[in-house]
Structure 1
Amino acid sequence: MGEYDIAVIGGGPIGLFSAFYAGLRDMKAVIIEAQDELGGQLIKWYPEKMVYDVGGFPGIQAYDLAMNLIEQAKMFSPEVRLNELADQLEKTDDGMWTVKTNGGSYKAKAVMIAAGIGKIEPVRLGAKGEIEYENKGVFYTVKRKKDFEGKRILIVGGGDSAVDWALTLAPIAKKVYLAHRRDQFRAHERSVKEMYEVATVYTWHELKEVKGDGTKVNQAVIFDNRTNEEKTLDVDAVIISIGHKGELGNMVKWGLNMKGRSVVVNAKMETNLPGVYAAGDIVEQEGSAKLALIAVGFGQAAIAISVAKKYIDPRASLFAGHSSEMSKFKKE
């Protein structure tokens, strides 16, 4: 069993930044990630999507952002454990915490929960032919844009991802359709306006059936959920972008104060368990609006790690100064 100053549960953007910041505060860290690679949703679900709401980048591809975060996190050589879902969290007799996974046990003075929405799986619609044509024309994300060059594409969904895929693929696709079950979109207003200029949009429409020749998709049937009137579209690909669901495993049994699927934290990012902190999409912060943004999670992580540092070493300063003042970053 390895021993650490802090165990970071989650290897997505917030977990990676947490590990970096822990290193900055001279804390030995281990990153425990349930997926087979670091980077979280940036890598698994939309590596070629552009990210515009991270400070310092007018626009950056999700894959590149993930690679930068991984490089940054590894500056202080944290241990990385992949394909391990945190299963149990137990307090030891000496006041430390033990995180048990399907692959080992890790003892730490503090724990940082940055699990996002958990181990990620796509939300499926259950439309006829959907499962039959998974990865044969039915997809839940875009990993390589070039796979959709010159194709007729139906995107199903009304959130940021669906709208962004329409904008991203329109310049290279032969035709882009988008079907959404309402007439209101959960996406930035400017993006929605631009989408209407490059895609054929069907509001109040849902996917009924995916058709093909057994090896690939060639049609999709959508219907108006007010009138049940159907339309058959000739398409080569269907991208179902209605979200993802996370598997939290036994986290709900750890004794954490939770609100739905979120871990409740205070202004210091402290949970109800002493020495256990949380940040990012997984949290519900008391007295604060919830914004599921990477930029928000970065700030929460810096606070959590700083508070954890002082918890571990009461003599430590909560704020250690700006990184530009630290010797690690000064040029000789």
Structure 2
Amino acid sequence: MNTEQLDIYDITIVGGGPAGMYAAFYSGMRAMRTKLIDAKEELGGFMRTYPEKLVWDVGGVGPIRCEKLIDILELQAKTFDPTLVLGQEIAHLERRDDQIFVLTAKTGERHYTRTLLLCAGRGMTQVQKLDVEGANRYELTNLHYTITDLSRFKDKRVLISGGGDSAVDWANEIVKLAKQVIVVHRRNEFTAHELPVAQMKASAEVMTPYRISRLHGAGDQIKSVVLEHSDTGAIEQIEVDEVIVSHGFDRDFGGLLKWGLDKEDYGVSVDPRMRTSMPGIFGAGDFITYGSKVRLIAGAFNDAVLAVNSAKLYLDPAASDMAGVSSHNDRFFEKNKAIIHQ
């Protein structure tokens, strides 16, 4: 096939979370023709599961609600007008004899690129629902798997089930508004970070090791929750107004993990320059793993910079190791001039 007839990009980013969005911006700084593809109909990735959460740990920003941070990142990602393709899940990868990658979506559409940056995060996530008889009847009322409006918990009795970061973070947010917050976890130890756990234990009621065994309701509302002690089987029944279940997510990466890339238990393996085991394919964000990996939004930004720089050098070994800083980068000359004259 004649490559002149194809629309070939310098870099194609798969995944529109924080790593993918920042990579789209930074590849623009490197004057790379960029395409970003996401399986969902909106950018944001896993961040979309906690829009109301306050994010404190992004350098120079914060505290900021996650939905606002997504808006800022999306605006930044569009700085250099990358091509955005939403609602397409990539199912197949092939490499032609001329080294051009061909990505085929489940829709059948094909995308051509010289380098590939995988920022698939946690993949297509599916919430792990409460495995209790009849739980689904309350999902439209007071059983929650995510939170979009904290104000609904004001002056309520709230029970939260879970032991990870999300459960603990929600407890610390809601305790400021609610009449009572009870956190239930099936183990004695929490997997969340130490400081938020300490804050939760100081302000909320914590019951471990317990699990939800039954829900009692009136109509479509949960009125009380039956808890079972994980070791002794002892039963306690607690009256509640709202129940939040934060048991994690099932992850589905579609065909991405079937391409032969080296991987470990938690992600595709990359070297310190974000290069995968296949030349021309790079990774960033929660999708990858390496020795000093930092699983923070800020860490995803750094991964993205390193990956894009490696992709640039793969295409042009004579290129500089990194983009010039924005204050001296020619790519911003006209943009800076426009801002100054506003």
The TM-score, its normalising length taken from structure 2, stands at: 0.91
Q: Deviation at 1:300?
A: 1.1
1:160 match = 165
1:119 match = 124
Residues 144, 2 of structure 1: alpha-carbon distance in 2 compared, 3 angstrom cutoff: farther
Which residue of 205, 212, 220 corresponds with 2:217?
212
Residue by residue, what CA displacement relative to the aligned partner does 1:245-275 show, whole Å, maximum 9, x if unpaired? 2211111221211223511111111111110
2:179 match = 174
Q: Deviation at 1:147?
A: 2.7
**Structure 1 residues without counterparts, runs of 5 or longer:** none
How far apart in 2 are the matches of 1:149 and 1:98?
51
1:279 match = 284
Q: 1:76 aligns to what SS in structure 2?
A: coil
Superposed, which structure 2 residues align to 1:179-190 within 5 Å? 179-190=184-195
1:302 match = 305
Q: 1:41 aligns to what SS in structure 2?
A: helix
How far apart in 1 are the matches of 2:292 and 2:219?
47
% same residue: 38
Q: 2:298 aligns to what SS in structure 1?
A: helix
Structure 1 stretches of at least 4 aligned residues deviating more than 3 Å after TM superposition: 328-332
Which residue of 9, 12, 21 corresponds with 2:14?
9
The aligned amino acid for 1:159 is: G
2:202 match = 197
Q: Deviation at 1:145?
A: 1.1
Q: Deviation at 1:14?
A: 0.6
Q: Deviation at 1:32?
A: 1.0
The aligned amino acid for 1:197 is: A
Q: Deviation at 1:58?
A: 4.1
Q: 2:79 aligns to what SS in structure 1?
A: helix
Which residue of 327, 330, 335 corresponds with 1:327?
330
Residue by residue, what CA displacement relative to the aligned partner does 1:27-63 show, whole Å, maximum 9, x if unpaired? 11111111221111222x1001011221112422111
How far apart in 2 are the matches of 1:72 and 1:20?
6
Which residue of 85, 89, 94 corresponds with 2:98?
94
How far apart in 2 are the matches of 1:58 and 1:188?
19
Contact 2:46 2:122 in 1 (8 A): no
Is it true that 1:29 corresponds to 2:51 in the alignment? no
Q: Deviation at 1:243?
A: 1.4
How far apart in 1 are the matches of 2:148 and 2:10?
36
The alignment of Structure 1 onto Structure 2 pairs a total of residues equal to: 329
Contact 2:137 2:220 in 1 (8 A): no
The TM-score, its normalising length taken from structure 1, stands at: 0.94
2:78 match = 74
How far apart in 1 are the matches of 2:23 and 2:69?
15
Which residue of 51, 54, 57 corresponds with 1:53?
57
The aligned amino acid for 2:325 is: H
Q: 1:249 aligns to what SS in structure 2?
A: coil
The aligned amino acid for 1:297 is: A
Bigger radius of gyration, 1 or 2? 2
How far apart in 2 are the matches of 1:26 and 1:96?
19
How far apart in 1 are the matches of 2:90 and 2:153?
36
Contact 1:11 1:33 in 2 (8 A): yes
